[in-house]
Chain A
Amino acid sequence: MAGRQLACFITKRTGSRSLTDDPQRSGPPLLEVRDLNVRFGARGRSGEVTAVRGLSFSIAPGEILGLIGESGSGKTTVARAVMGLVRSATGSIRLQGREMLGLSERELRKVRRRLHLIFQDPYDSLHPGMRIREIVEEAMKIHRTGDRAHRTATVSAALEDVGLTPSSRFIERYPYQLSGGQRQRVAIARAMVLDPALVLADEPTSMLDLSLRSGILEILKRHRDTSGTGYLFITHDLALARHLCDRIAVMFGGKLVELGPTEAVITNPLHPYTKLLLQAVEELAPPAPQEPGGYRVSYPSGRVKECCATIDPELQEIAPGHYVACDQDDRSIPDKSLLEKEE
């Protein structure tokens, strides 16, 4: 397997430091994902879909890693796999050094105390028949922490933290009495009460109005700063990621194609897909007719390399901490060419 050899080679080259660590940080990672694969459907049958292929990354304590990708790129599957909600995941997921794949349902439930997943749709993720207090304290009840007084105090504090002040105004309400922005704040407050080590946020702002998005981002950022919680922030919006994240990982077709410090990825994108994303945000993207199942058509026609269609290039370190999965020698495609019309 050529890919495996290449991976070995890279590990050797980068020495003892693991493949995707941020060189700026020392100490053990909070979350370490190695060679994660997720398949859906019966193995070997025609319905089998590989949602995630050979994904490796890590998150340091207190770090916000942005996971960027379009719908269908597998980014939500990654979050679900980390939560232990996907049975068919293989590879390795270590939280604070402890392997999570292969744990029994019982053990997983205990581990989930240190994790929290924030969902995209605040209209769907809060139980319509529960009061805000019940919703926020639910995790504490599930894990039997604190007495009633302690729980109530924690809920009030969490609500105030996310800007639902005074908390007494919200605590006895039902979700339907709250606006979308307020609901998402409730969902974040719920994430905070057990003081998790890692929060996974799956497009937490994509259903919200622009004027409310920035408020949610600031809350997440402040929470990270005060609690030292690590974040996996999943989004399709590069501008949001740039604002919030320390590092950015770009996914395409279930694979990580680029990983690096936020500013490095934004100012010097290496993978053609990252470039395309950037252009789409900054200007209008090339009007290439789409073909299902590939980003090849997005490339300027002469530059499509066979490698992308046939073999899976491995991540290589190009600059310190900046990795890209692209075997093209000439990665420096002038930006202009991406905008050219393809006929």
Chain B
Amino acid sequence: MSTLLEVRGLNTVYRTPAETVRAVDGVDLTVERGEILGVVGESGSGKTTLVMSLMRLIKPPGRILKGGEMLLDGEDLFRLPRSEMPARRGQDLALIPQSAMHALNPVIPVDRQIAEGISVHQGVGRKAAMRTARERLREVGILPERHNAYPHELSGGMRQRCIIAMAIANEPKLVIADEPVSGLDVVVQARILRLISELKESRGLSMILVSHDLPTVAKICDRIMVMYAGRIVETGKARAVLDKPLHPYTRALVEAIPQMRGPRQPLQPIPGDPPDLHNLPPGCNFRPRCPAAFVDCKMVDPSLEEAERGRKAACLLYHKENRK
């Protein structure tokens, strides 16, 4: 595998006269070719800001701080002039937005919507574009007789499939999906996730999948990054993170998942409130809710360091000097 995307030192802030909020705070990430990277975070973790930053769709008062890099196939997208970004979105980067219900134009049949994007980006004729669009729709499991349906004639799951077809229409290098299955029924969720993992196999799709739902993400991701209060607090292979979470926050998340098998145990709620980016505690952001916090956590803001082979955690427990 080779590296497709490398992001280093991404900082996104929201500046108002009163304060500066760091919604994404020094995030580094890599995506290998043909890999699905899961980004897990809850409200206030900065995951949506991360998605928007990667698409360069941050609007004032939000701003991506200088000094960060976003190398896609070796080319730094943050250095491109703003005017060149629209052409790149769709061709290099595609976004599957959060709400499939509102993301489609209600008055244009889905195949034509997709074809439009294809002819704009690839400069092909109407007919050829339409052919490609229909091919993509077939690929995501829409029956041919539904191709020229209007969005309101389709169920939620089918609309989500259309959005995915739209995202892969121009064969982008990287697809970023923001909560692609939230708001769908469980069965439909499972089908969409399966579709995504099938596309990964068949087309070697590279993807960043952002979600608040750790167990769902873990099903189809290769690696997982856990975000908390704008920071990455843990990374590792999906299975490993779920089986043996290192960071106390990840551990708490895993313990809060109701299990379908085994004895019914009382769930362990995470104490305290979700982080408030306007008012972060000194030291480690998770300290006020952390059962394992000790004195140093109040003073030291832990950096993301290798804790085990292939695993990183931003927690003093795993820093070299504390490990025994």
Direct contact of A and B (CB under 8 A): yes
B42 pairs with A211, CB closer than 8 A: yes
A209 pairs with B264, CB closer than 8 A: no
B220-241 CB contact bits vs A (8 Å, 1 = yes)?
Answer: 1000000000000000000000
Tell whether B110 is near chain A: CB-to-CB under 8 Å: no
Contacts A181-B273, A211-B256, A281-B260 given: A288-B185 contact, CB under 8 Å? no
A240 pairs with B269, CB closer than 8 A: no
Beta-carbon nearest neighbor of A180 in chain B: B43
Contacts A210-B213, A242-B258, A284-B219 given: A236-B186 contact, CB under 8 Å? yes
- Which listed segment binds A: B92-100, B188-196, B293-301? B188-196
A288 pairs with B260, CB closer than 8 A: no
Tell whether B107 is near chain A: CB-to-CB under 8 Å: no
- Among B254-284, those with CB < 8 Å from A are 256-261, 264, 266-270, 273-274
B191 pairs with A286, CB closer than 8 A: yes
Instruction: Report the Cα distance A240→B256, complex, angstroms.
Output: 11
Interface size class of A (residues with CB under 8 A): 35 or more
Central interface residue in B43, B142, B187, B264, by most chain A CB within 10 Å: B187
Dominant SS at the A interface?
Answer: helix
B273 pairs with A182, CB closer than 8 A: yes
Residues of chain A contacted by B253 (CB below 8 angstroms): 210-211
- Among A29-53, those with CB < 8 Å from B are none
Tell whether B141 is near chain A: CB-to-CB under 8 Å: yes
Cross-interface CB contact of A218 among B42, B188, B267, cutoff 8 Å: B267
Residues of chain B contacted by A329 (CB below 8 angstroms): none
**How many interface residues does B have (CB within 8 Å)?**
42
Beta-carbon nearest neighbor of A286 in chain B: B191
Tell whether A282 is near chain B: CB-to-CB under 8 Å: yes
Cross-interface CB contact of B212 among A209, A215, A287, cutoff 8 Å: A209
Beta-carbon nearest neighbor of A215 in chain B: B269
A179 pairs with B155, CB closer than 8 A: no
Contacts A182-B273, A278-B260 given: A236-B190 contact, CB under 8 Å? no
Tell whether A333 is near chain B: CB-to-CB under 8 Å: no
Tell whether A71 is near chain B: CB-to-CB under 8 Å: yes
Beta-carbon nearest neighbor of A216 in chain B: B269
A287 pairs with B194, CB closer than 8 A: yes
Contacts A209-B274, A236-B185 given: A287-B260 contact, CB under 8 Å? no
B157 pairs with A290, CB closer than 8 A: yes
Residues of chain B contacted by A287 (CB below 8 angstroms): 141, 191, 194-195, 198
Instruction: Report the Cα distance A188→B307, complex, angstroms.
Output: 41
Tell whether B174 is near chain A: CB-to-CB under 8 Å: no
Beta-carbon nearest neighbor of B271 in chain A: A215
B187 pairs with A284, CB closer than 8 A: no
B258 pairs with A240, CB closer than 8 A: yes
Residues of chain B contacted by A130 (CB below 8 angstroms): none
Tell whether B214 is near chain A: CB-to-CB under 8 Å: yes
Residues of chain A contacted by B141 (CB below 8 angstroms): 287, 289
B274 pairs with A239, CB closer than 8 A: no
Cross-interface CB contact of B258 among A211, A214, A290, A298, cutoff 8 Å: A214
A-B contact pairs, 18 of them (CB 8 A): A182-B273, A209-B274, A211-B252, A212-B270, A214-B270, A215-B269, A215-B270, A218-B267, A243-B264, A279-B190, A281-B190, A283-B219, A284-B190, A284-B197, A284-B219, A289-B142, A290-B158, A298-B187
